A and B are shown apart, each in its own frame.
Chain A
Amino acid sequence: MMVLILMVGIFQSWNIALSIFNLCLISAVMTMGANIQWGYAGLINFGIMGYTALGGLAAVLISVDPVQEAWRAGGFDILMSLWLIVVMVLVIRFILKRFEKSKIRTYSIAAIIISGILLIRFSAEPGIEAIEAVDPAKTGFLGGFGLPIIFSWIVGALFAGGLAFIVGKVALGLRADYLAIATLLISEIVIAIIKHEDWLTRGVKNVIGLKRPAPYEVDLQTTDWFIKLVEKFNAGKLSVIENLADRQAALNQLVIEGSSVFVKLCYSGLFLVVVIILLILTQKALYSPWGRMMRAIRDNEEAANAMGKNVVKQHLLIFILGSAIVGIAGAMLVTQDGLFTPGSYRPMRYTFLIWVMVIVGGSGNNFGAILGGFVVWFLWIEAAPISLFLINFFTAGIPETNALKAHLIESVPYFRFLLMGLGLLFIMRYRPKGILPEKIEIK
């Protein structure tokens, strides 16, 4: 796999190779999250998109500087509504604890929720409008805490885990395929909220220019040690050029290229650390008594239950853990892009593609998950060039003006769906356990 990425580096450019590599690492983290749920415990979670987006939201809320003006304009109303939500939840909990299950209880809870939502809407409305009116072209939202963006990786995990707790509480009792549909729809609801609550996330107006954990290219290009480094690396190439002015120009070009490669390398380093930590932890978990129990629950729920294992609790736990890992990946993704675009969260890319990675890589095997993330992401990106090459190869005899050929070349971007679909179908058929199947050594 690394050879393939190196080949991209040599034939296309190091920049592309590194961005593929970085996204491969992020995909690997997401896949590990989904793999924990599906491979360890047999829980099907089609809500990966929602957790990814929440991780991204965490990156925004942590790193962006707070917008003081917006806080003054509507902060009070927002805090009031938050307080109202807390009160509502507490009241419902109290009712659930205090009274026996009955029709009246159900109806009164429904009434509390509906009136609570109306009340919150009316109390928050002026605040939201005031916040969104604050310099809408640049801010128009509350901003965040202005902390280094690295913290958001942890906070993203917490957010995603929190959502998973709520989702798990309500939906985990469902049958497998119902659970898939329910989680898919819940993730759509999450995206709808992130897209349209402008006071919190700027919605479809996007948040750009997030802080970085890595240096900026522009700064690097003016730093002495970096220029020297590039000079050293390319000494052979540069010494060929006789003219001093030309040599300087070539060096400048190299420095510009080198700076973006360097920044990407910084990200790769950070992401690699995350992947390795997660890999060690998940491997340890897999071979621990806890992992054994999870497999027992997956393979036979009733038997595990009869042995005194709390199936519901363990399911909830693993659902939260897996989702939290996906949340980390979501925060990493936004960190690397430096922007948060709620409109770009689509189930095809963030849920189904990740599932293809899990299935192709091998469910229940952490190395399989990482491999799946790498292979599938690589193919997803490189499918277009590959299919372009194939089309040109097979239609070499046909003139350029041929309508069919032109049409095919025009629709090259969609061959990636075909490739993914066929790949998934073939793996499911001939290697249902994935490329690297689950392998449990009994020690």
Chain B
Amino acid sequence: MDFVNAIILLLNYIFIPALTYGSQLALGAIFVTLIYGILRFANFATGDMMSFGTMATILFTWYFQSLGVSLGVLPTALLAIPFGIIFMIFYMLLIDKFVFKYYRNQKSPPVQFAMVSIGVMFVTQAVVRIIIGPGDRRFFDGEKFIIKAREFKEMTGLNEGLALKSTQVITIFVTIVLVSLLFWFLNRTKTGKSMKAYSDNEDLALLSGIDPKKIVLVTWVIAGILATIGGALYGLDKSFKPFTYFNNMLPIFAAAIVGGIGNPFGAFLGGYVIAFSEILLTYAYKKFFMYVLPESMEPNSLVQLLSTDYKFAVSFSILVIVLIYRPSGIFKGKVL
């Protein structure tokens, strides 16, 4: 019995939260990686673009709520996401047309692109804060829990409860669907394959008649979808605050690079690598050992490798180690 309790404990505090957080990071990381692979720059506006998409979603959610439209047990935001995506794609294309296109035509070095993306970051941050303000916004409605901790305890008679939030299930489900669709698109359709070719060798791709304008357009569309959904899911699960989104850029970068930048599948896995290592290394295992070990061997301390304050630092350290020893990432990057 104790063993089952221990497993439930880990599931509740490590596995499910890490899986959710990992999914949110993974979506962002694929976004970073796509931009890096095809447009060839590190996009420092990632976090703020995600917050822009989320902001659009929130605005539509409020609009639907004021109309009285809802999805019952599901959050209204799910209905608003497609509109948010359209808004986001529109904004991204606008930025691309007025900002990035010029440097693409100039064939500027990646560093210059990165600098420009910092300008975009400032502007996007300002736009988001001016429109929706810097405060904390919760826009979740509908049923909050699928399984409540107390109900679970009563149901199974165990000591440890397992709480399953509906946002967690939605996040994981949506991520799986979206990512499978994306990989199907990249690997099976003609456009997807031409994107791969373009990322691999631009000149060769151009020679074989691939239209670069179309590739760039499709990339931004996919990026818009990923950014909005990733951002909205994060906002649903936690809450929306522009500053947190800006900070999330860093673990997202970490995930993309750990997975091998330019490689969407690597980025997808990288998200989970980062999320799991953050949570595994900062979790206090005292209770777990109390269940597993006999009473005489119970630990006195918290059995915590690092305090939770260092959560971000963990992912950054992993990234720094990966950068130094395997700059192409765990899953070998730049193949798309």
Residues on A close to B: CB < 8 A? 44, 170-171, 174-178, 180-182, 184-186, 188-189, 192-193, 195-196, 348, 352, 355-356, 359, 408, 410-411, 414-422, 424-425, 428-429, 432
With both chains docked as a complex, state the minimum distance between the C-beta of B135 and any C-beta of chain A, in angstroms. Answer: 11
The reply on B115 being an interface residue by CB < 8 A is yes
Q: A185 with B130: in contact, given A177-B110, A417-B123, A424-B119 (CB under 8 Å)?
A: no
Q: A355 with B118: in contact, given A177-B42, A186-B316, A188-B312 (CB under 8 Å)?
A: yes
Judging by beta carbons under 8 Å apart, are B126 and A186 in contact? no
- Cα–Cα distance between A184 and B309 once the two chains are bound (Å): 18
Give every chain B residue within 8 A of A411 (Cβ-Cβ).
129-130, 133
- Residue in contact with B122 in the complex, picked from A192, A193, A417, A432, CB distance below 8 Å: A417
Judging by beta carbons under 8 Å apart, are B126 and A414 in contact? yes
The reply on B7 being an interface residue by CB < 8 A is no
The reply on B155 being an interface residue by CB < 8 A is no
With both chains docked as a complex, state the minimum distance between the C-beta of B63 and any C-beta of chain A, in angstroms. Answer: 16
With both chains docked as a complex, state the minimum distance between the C-beta of B130 and any C-beta of chain A, in angstroms. Answer: 4
Give every chain B residue within 8 A of A177 (Cβ-Cβ).
41-42, 110-111, 114
Known: A177-B111, A188-B316; 20 extra A-B contacts, CB below 8 A, are A174-B323, A177-B114, A178-B327, A185-B253, A188-B313, A189-B316, A192-B310, A192-B313, A352-B118, A352-B121, A355-B118, A415-B126, A417-B123, A417-B126, A418-B122, A421-B124, A421-B125, A425-B119, A425-B120, A428-B115
Total contacting residues, chain B, CB less than 8 A: 42
The reply on B257 being an interface residue by CB < 8 A is yes
Map CB proximity to A onto B100-141 as digits: 1 under 8 Å, 0 otherwise. 001000000111101110111111111101100110000000
Judging by beta carbons under 8 Å apart, are A421 and B42 in contact? no
Q: A188 with B250: in contact, given A170-B320, A182-B320 (CB under 8 Å)?
A: yes
Judging by beta carbons under 8 Å apart, are A178 and B129 in contact? no
With both chains docked as a complex, state the minimum distance between the C-beta of A278 and any C-beta of chain B, in angstroms. Answer: 24
Interface of B is mostly: helix
Judging by beta carbons under 8 Å apart, are A171 and B116 in contact? no
Interface of A is mostly: helix
The reply on B8 being an interface residue by CB < 8 A is no
Judging by beta carbons under 8 Å apart, are A193 and B118 in contact? no
- Cα–Cα distance between A188 and B248 once the two chains are bound (Å): 12
Judging by beta carbons under 8 Å apart, are A418 and B126 in contact? yes
Q: A421 with B320: in contact, given A188-B312, A414-B126 (CB under 8 Å)?
A: no
Judging by beta carbons under 8 Å apart, are A189 and B120 in contact? no
Q: A185 with B122: in contact, given A176-B111, A192-B312 (CB under 8 Å)?
A: no
The reply on B244 being an interface residue by CB < 8 A is no
- Residue in contact with B246 in the complex, picked from A193, A348, A419, A421, CB distance below 8 Å: A348
The reply on B65 being an interface residue by CB < 8 A is no
- Cα–Cα distance between A49 and B313 once the two chains are bound (Å): 15
Give every chain B residue within 8 A of A415 (Cβ-Cβ).
126, 130
- Residue in contact with B123 in the complex, picked from A44, A182, A410, A425, CB distance below 8 Å: A425
- Residue in contact with B320 in the complex, picked from A171, A180, A355, A410, CB distance below 8 Å: A171
Judging by beta carbons under 8 Å apart, are B126 and A189 in contact? no
Which chain A residue has the least Cβ–Cβ distance from B116? A428
With both chains docked as a complex, state the minimum distance between the C-beta of B118 and any C-beta of chain A, in angstroms. Answer: 6
Give every chain A residue within 8 A of B320 (Cβ-Cβ).
170-171, 182, 185-186, 189
Q: A421 with B120: in contact, given A176-B111, A177-B111 (CB under 8 Å)?
A: yes
- Residue in contact with B119 in the complex, picked from A184, A192, A421, A432, CB distance below 8 Å: A421
Give every chain B residue within 8 A of A408 (Cβ-Cβ).
130
With both chains docked as a complex, state the minimum distance between the C-beta of A73 and any C-beta of chain B, in angstroms. Answer: 20
Judging by beta carbons under 8 Å apart, are A414 and B129 in contact? yes
- Cα–Cα distance between A44 and B323 once the two chains are bound (Å): 16
- Cα–Cα distance between A186 and B125 once the two chains are bound (Å): 23
Which chain A residue has the least Cβ–Cβ distance from B118? A352
With both chains docked as a complex, state the minimum distance between the C-beta of A373 and any C-beta of chain B, in angstroms. Answer: 17
With both chains docked as a complex, state the minimum distance between the C-beta of B8 and any C-beta of chain A, in angstroms. Answer: 28
Judging by beta carbons under 8 Å apart, are B319 and A185 in contact? yes
Q: Please, could you name 16 A-B residue pairs with CB atoms under 8 Å apart, sorted by A?
A: A44-B111, A171-B323, A176-B109, A177-B110, A177-B111, A178-B323, A180-B111, A184-B250, A189-B313, A352-B118, A352-B121, A356-B122, A415-B126, A417-B123, A418-B126, A424-B115
Give every chain B residue within 8 A of A44 (Cβ-Cβ).
111, 114
With both chains docked as a complex, state the minimum distance between the C-beta of A166 and any C-beta of chain B, in angstroms. Answer: 11
Give every chain B residue within 8 A of A420 (Cβ-Cβ).
122
Judging by beta carbons under 8 Å apart, are A181 and B123 in contact? no
The reply on B189 being an interface residue by CB < 8 A is no
Give every chain A residue within 8 A of B327 (Cβ-Cβ).
174-175, 178
With both chains docked as a complex, state the minimum distance between the C-beta of B51 and any C-beta of chain A, in angstroms. Answer: 13
- Cα–Cα distance between A188 and B312 once the two chains are bound (Å): 8
Give every chain B residue within 8 A of A425 (Cβ-Cβ).
99, 116, 119-120, 123
Give every chain A residue within 8 A of B317 (Cβ-Cβ).
189
- Residue in contact with B309 in the complex, picked from A196, A359, A416, A424, CB distance below 8 Å: A196
Q: Which 6 A-B pairs have the closest CB atoms?
A: A421-B122, A421-B123, A418-B126, A417-B126, A424-B119, A414-B129
Q: A195 with B309: in contact, given A180-B42, A352-B121 (CB under 8 Å)?
A: yes
- Cα–Cα distance between A177 and B316 once the two chains are bound (Å): 16
With both chains docked as a complex, state the minimum distance between the C-beta of B97 and any C-beta of chain A, in angstroms. Answer: 13
- Cα–Cα distance between A411 and B319 once the two chains are bound (Å): 36
- Residue in contact with B130 in the complex, picked from A186, A414, A422, A428, CB distance below 8 Å: A414
Give every chain A residue within 8 A of B133 (Cβ-Cβ).
410-411
- Residue in contact with B313 in the complex, picked from A174, A176, A193, A356, CB distance below 8 Å: A193
Give every chain B residue within 8 A of A196 (Cβ-Cβ).
307, 309-310
- Cα–Cα distance between A147 and B94 once the two chains are bound (Å): 56
Q: A185 with B119: in contact, given A171-B320, A178-B257, A411-B129 (CB under 8 Å)?
A: no
Judging by beta carbons under 8 Å apart, are A185 and B123 in contact? no
Give every chain A residue within 8 A of B109 (Cβ-Cβ).
176
Give every chain A residue within 8 A of B123 (Cβ-Cβ).
417-418, 421-422, 425
- Cα–Cα distance between A414 and B253 once the two chains are bound (Å): 25
- Cα–Cα distance between A41 and B54 once the two chains are bound (Å): 40
Give every chain A residue within 8 A of B41 (Cβ-Cβ).
177
Give every chain A residue within 8 A of B130 (Cβ-Cβ).
408, 411, 414-415, 418
Residue of A44, A175, A185, A428 with most chain B CB atoms under a 10 A cut-off: A185
With both chains docked as a complex, state the minimum distance between the C-beta of A168 and any C-beta of chain B, in angstroms. Answer: 12
The reply on B254 being an interface residue by CB < 8 A is yes
- Cα–Cα distance between A184 and B246 once the two chains are bound (Å): 13
With both chains docked as a complex, state the minimum distance between the C-beta of B99 and any C-beta of chain A, in angstroms. Answer: 6
- Cα–Cα distance between A192 and B308 once the two chains are bound (Å): 11
- Cα–Cα distance between A188 and B114 once the two chains are bound (Å): 19
Judging by beta carbons under 8 Å apart, are A418 and B127 in contact? yes
Give every chain A residue within 8 A of B313 (Cβ-Cβ).
188-189, 192-193
With both chains docked as a complex, state the minimum distance between the C-beta of B108 and any C-beta of chain A, in angstroms. Answer: 9
- Cα–Cα distance between A428 and B99 once the two chains are bound (Å): 10
